[in-house]
Every structure is written in structure tokens, then in C-alpha cells.
Amino acid sequence: MESLIPELAGLARETALLYPRSGEPGVRDSSIGGPLLWPAGEPWPLCAEPGHWKPLRTPTEVVGPEPVAMVPVVQLYARDVPELPFPMGTDMLQVVWCTLIHDDHGDAVLPKLYWRSEQTVAAGAVLSCQPEPYEYEEEFMPRPCTVTPTRTVEYPNADLPGDLTLKLSRRFEEIEAETGFSYYETATTLQSKVGGYPSWVQEPQWPDCRCGRRMEHLLSITATEPVDGRWFPRDEQEPETPDSSRCTTADHAVVDTIGHGMDMGDLGGIYLFVCPECPDMPYAHRYDC
């Protein structure tokens, strides 16, 4: 990419694409929407945010005042995704969120992050029956999925600086006409992933940490996952026929297993950010659709 477009020098970022597929992950597996390795003695996270609501709920859209159980969204072990910025002494990340809509927190879910040591949790009693919310919003409720972290290098999509976008758009078109490869389809990814660039579907909205630094992208959970094209796994493609060598589509048996099933508004995403410079690793989230 950089030999074709030298202006991209320095913009490459490593990312681990997660490829969620519906399945039955266990508490010792990395997953999206799977069960968490949770200490039995620790209270399950509840959301008591006043006014959180569920669209079209009757007789009232507002849920509460009884707190609502959060749901498991992400669990990642260092053995699967070592590139996460694990704080000292931890080797697993858990993300839960309240699936309801929170007007004061980006009009979407309210996530919570936990960094833990697998060994420490597993040495004690582990929660066997995880509480379920008495009310939830389907578009942010994931089905259990296995993940297959897959490394690649990507370049910015929506995060391409404005002057570069202007400068390079003609060149992108020329390269596509010449080679058949679109910059955005081959050099950028918009799917669930760790690191790399956020999978924005709208304009970037990076959060700043209280220390003044811009936070770093931790991971993206997106409604869409590739079902064809460059980023679709080869072993899930339909067997090739002589005239389909460049046409890669999903095998019918695979299609229904792709993704965690969350619509996230109009096929948007939730993006998590952290500040690894601050000792307690503050985090923030953004939502677009």
C-alpha cells in the first residue's frame, strides 16, 4: 500500500479482527456474548441509571427503578489477544453493558470494563449462573459467539486526515481502475476488532482522557461483519468454481453463524477507548449508526 501511496507512511496500524461466529463458548474461552469467568463472591454488575429506556416498551419506555442486570459482551484472554494493554497482573478483559438506551451516555448502552487475572479468579469459586436482565433492548443483546482473532495491518478509513482524503481520492480511483482494488475495501476494515482504527460508520468522535491525552482505541463491536470480499475468511467461502475465482461469497452453512446478531441502531457500532497512561486505565465509549 505504501509503495503505491507513500503519503500513507506512518499510518499503518496492527489490528486483531475478531470474527464472531455463533456458538457455545465457555467461561474459559474468549468470546463475544459468551459466559464470563466471574468470581462467585463478586456482585454481578447492575445498572441503576435513572431514565434508561427501551424503545416502544409499554406502558412506559423508562425501565426501573429496580436495577437491571448488565449482560456479557466481550471476554478476551491474553493468550488469544496478547496485544490488549493488560494492566500489570491481569490477563483477561471483560466487557459488560446495560443494553438499554442511556440519553446521557451517547444514546446507547452503558458499558463497564473489568481487567482480571484468570488464575486468581479460577482459584476461587466461579459464578455458575449469571443473572439475566428483567428487561433488555434486543439491538444491543449479543448472542453467544466464539471469536477467532486474526492479525492484519490496516490504514485509516474515516480517520484518514481530511487533507489526505482530498489529496488521495483521485489516486484511490486510479488505483482501483488499474488494479481492481479499492483502498477502502482492501486496506481498511469495518468489523469487530481489537486495536487498529475504530470501525466508525459516521464521523470520528475520539474521546479525550481527563489527563488531556486523546484516548486510544481499545476495541470495536460492530453490527456488520464481512460476508464477502478481502476480509472474509477463505475457509468459509463457497467452493470455487472456474468462473468465480475473484467472487468470494459465504458458504450457505456459514452465513447464519456470522456475527453476534446485534443491529445496533441502523447497523452501527460501539467503540471502546482507554487511556493506558493513567494508572486506573480510564475508559470511554462512543456509539454511531
Alpha helices in 83-182, H assignment, sequence order:
118-123, 162-179
- From CA 87, how far away is CA 108, in angstroms rounded? 27
100 near Zn ion (CB under 5 A)? yes
Element (H, E) at 187: helix 183-187
Question: CB-wise, 104 or 266, nearer to Zn ion?
Answer: 104
Q: Which of the ranges 32-40, 146-154, 248-256, 272-280 carries the binding residues for Zn ion, by CB under 5 A? A: 272-280
275 near Zn ion (CB under 5 A)? yes
- Cβ density class 225-235: b for 16+ within 10 Å, e for less: bbeeeebbbee
Question: CB-wise, 17 or 110, nearer to Zn ion?
Answer: 110
Select the residue interacting with Zn ion from 52, 54, 116, 217 (CB under 5 A): 52
Select the residue interacting with Zn ion from 62, 123, 125, 211 (CB under 5 A): 211
* Binding map of Zn ion across residues 2-41, x = CB under 5 A, - = no contact: ----------------------------------------
Distances (CA, A) of 192 to 31, 150, 247, 268: 12, 11, 23, 11
The least CB distance from residue 53 to Zn ion, in Å, is: 9
Question: CB-wise, 65 or 242, nearer to Zn ion?
Answer: 65
98 near Zn ion (CB under 5 A)? yes
Select the residue interacting with Zn ion from 209, 258, 270, 272 (CB under 5 A): 209
Select the residue interacting with Zn ion from 11, 18, 36, 47 (CB under 5 A): 47
**193-195 and 13-17 strand pairing:** antiparallel
The least CB distance from residue 96 to Zn ion, in Å, is: 11
Select the residue interacting with Zn ion from 27, 34, 49, 217 (CB under 5 A): 49
- From CA 60, how far away is CA 40, in angstroms rounded? 34
Element (H, E) at 265: helix 264-267
The least CB distance from residue 45 to Zn ion, in Å, is: 10
Give the amino acid at 9: A
Question: CB-wise, 97 or 183, nearer to Zn ion?
Answer: 97
Select the residue interacting with Zn ion from 62, 123, 125, 278 (CB under 5 A): 278
Q: Which of the ranges 36-44, 51-59, 130-138, 234-242 carries the binding residues for Zn ion, by CB under 5 A? A: 51-59
The DSSP bridge partners found for residue 71 are 97
CB within 8 Å of 82: residues ≥ 6 apart: none
Query: What torsion do the CA atoms of 157, 159, 161, 165 make, to the nearest 10 degrees?
Result: 20
- Cβ density class 22-45: b for 16+ within 10 Å, e for less: beebebebbbbbbbbbbbeeeeeb
- Which residues are near Zn ion by CB under 5 A? 47, 49, 52, 98, 100, 110, 209, 211, 275, 277-278
